[in-house]
Homo-oligomer: A and B are copies of this chain.
């Protein structure tokens, strides 16, 4: 295209559903007999099926990555600011796919789904799925869509762990991996926060050992606390200070346990909203998938060795105030890739927002993603790869 398109929304979108009847072997040793994945696509697959980008979601997101629903126009995709016609991930050029992962709670088979073997929700019996399992399931979705090779696989945070895992599990099936706000594994502190969240849920009397559906119950209190603690780790100390500081809701202290500071109201609101739509069993499993992710484990901690079979080119992006997955963790990934002589672009964005920066419309960050993908586009168009 010669003249740049003004950025706009992909418009109204419709989720689709793919059914897989072949059992999927999982890392935990169990297998799942059959499953469904819900996904959305934006843009058009080109004739040689070479322009597809898979977007992997993080902890609490879904297949609804861009656009909106005709019957629910306020329900805008979680990465809509970066994906659309004329946007950094340009759907005039790329065919973009969002998918709700296995074990999710937005339509793909997960703990809330009916187990065909029992006729009841899986609940506690749903297996613990890993990043590697998600990628294996995503590869089957690619088969289903007739996509042998992705132009790129991209994600932020836990989504970026999936991008990274794609380059190990299916090195020939992607040209580029976009690894944004990532870490090669969770630190003790990261695991600790996850464990607090899990304990809040697991010890909620309404959890009923994970089979709360049968009791008509929901561990709302546990989910709220879990989300509150998670939320703190997504924001930088500075971002919280500038957004909330010590602002009081009513100008003075009330000497009670109702919310007094704005930050308290904000967290309670976020926690409450989350508990309304997210499934506790899914939350528990996603935090475990985060804890387990550690590609270098089998090579004794040698990440370069773990990534030795990767063939993709990489864009790695970190954010200076991200204390959940700090830039130094991204640099570990970059160094491991460089030791393998891989093609790596690394951007460390000076952004104030903490981990959440990967979801926000930071001009330097978006410009970097745009420029990187324009290069892929040229390769796709010119048939370089």
Whether A284 lies near B261 (C-beta < 8 A) is no
Interface segment among A55-63, A92-100, A150-158, A220-228: the answer is: A220-228
A379 close to B (CB within 8 Å): no
Residues on B with C-beta less than 8 A from A193 are: 229, 232
Flag A181-210 by CB within 8 Å of B: 1 or 0 each.
000011111011101101110111100000
A374 close to B (CB within 8 Å): no
Please, how many angstroms separate the alpha-carbon atoms of A111 and B267 in the complex?
27
Please, how many angstroms separate the alpha-carbon atoms of A204 and B224 in the complex?
12
Residues on B with C-beta less than 8 A from A186 are: 246
How many monomers of this protein are in the complex?
2
Q: A271 touches which one: B199, B229, B253, B264 (CB < 8 A)? A: B199
Best-surrounded residue of A29, A191, A195, A237 (most CB of chain B within 10 A): A195
Please, how many angstroms separate the alpha-carbon atoms of A241 and B264 in the complex?
30
Task: List residues of A (236-287) whose CB comes within 8 Å of B's CBs.
Answer: 237, 240-241, 243-246, 253, 255-257, 259-261, 263-264, 267-268, 271, 284
A127 close to B (CB within 8 Å): yes
A117 close to B (CB within 8 Å): no
A195 to chain B, nearest CB (A): 5
Q: Nearest residue in B to A195 (C-beta to C-beta)?
A: B264
Whether B267 lies near A195 (C-beta < 8 A) is yes
A378 close to B (CB within 8 Å): no
Whether B199 lies near A240 (C-beta < 8 A) is no
Please, how many angstroms separate the alpha-carbon atoms of A28 and B257 in the complex?
13
Residues on B with C-beta less than 8 A from A372 are: none
Residues on B with C-beta less than 8 A from A264 are: 191-192, 195
Q: A188 touches which one: B127, B199, B205, B261 (CB < 8 A)? A: B261
Whether B196 lies near A263 (C-beta < 8 A) is no
A291 close to B (CB within 8 Å): yes
A356 to chain B, nearest CB (A): 14
Whether A196 lies near B257 (C-beta < 8 A) is no
Please, how many angstroms separate the alpha-carbon atoms of A288 and B203 in the complex?
25
Whether B240 lies near A188 (C-beta < 8 A) is yes
Whether A255 lies near B127 (C-beta < 8 A) is yes
Whether B199 lies near A237 (C-beta < 8 A) is no
Residues on B with C-beta less than 8 A from A148 are: none
Please, how many angstroms separate the alpha-carbon atoms of A199 and B266 in the complex?
13
Whether A294 lies near B246 (C-beta < 8 A) is yes
- Known contacts: A185-B246, A187-B237, A221-B203. The answer to whether A195 contacts B284 by CB under 8 A is no
List the interface of chain A (C-beta within 8 A of B): 27-29, 127-128, 185-189, 191-193, 195-196, 198-200, 202-205, 221, 224-225, 228-229, 232, 235, 237, 240-241, 243-246, 253, 255-257, 259-261, 263-264, 267-268, 271, 284, 288, 291-292, 294, 323
Closest 6 CB pairs of A and B: A28-B255, A188-B240, A203-B221, A188-B244, A128-B255, A188-B263
Q: Would you list 25 pairs from A and B whose C-beta atoms are within 8 A, ordered by A residue?
A: A29-B255, A128-B256, A187-B237, A188-B240, A188-B241, A188-B244, A188-B246, A188-B261, A188-B263, A192-B228, A192-B240, A193-B232, A195-B259, A195-B263, A195-B264, A199-B228, A200-B200, A200-B225, A202-B257, A203-B221, A203-B224, A204-B221, A257-B284, A260-B291, A261-B291
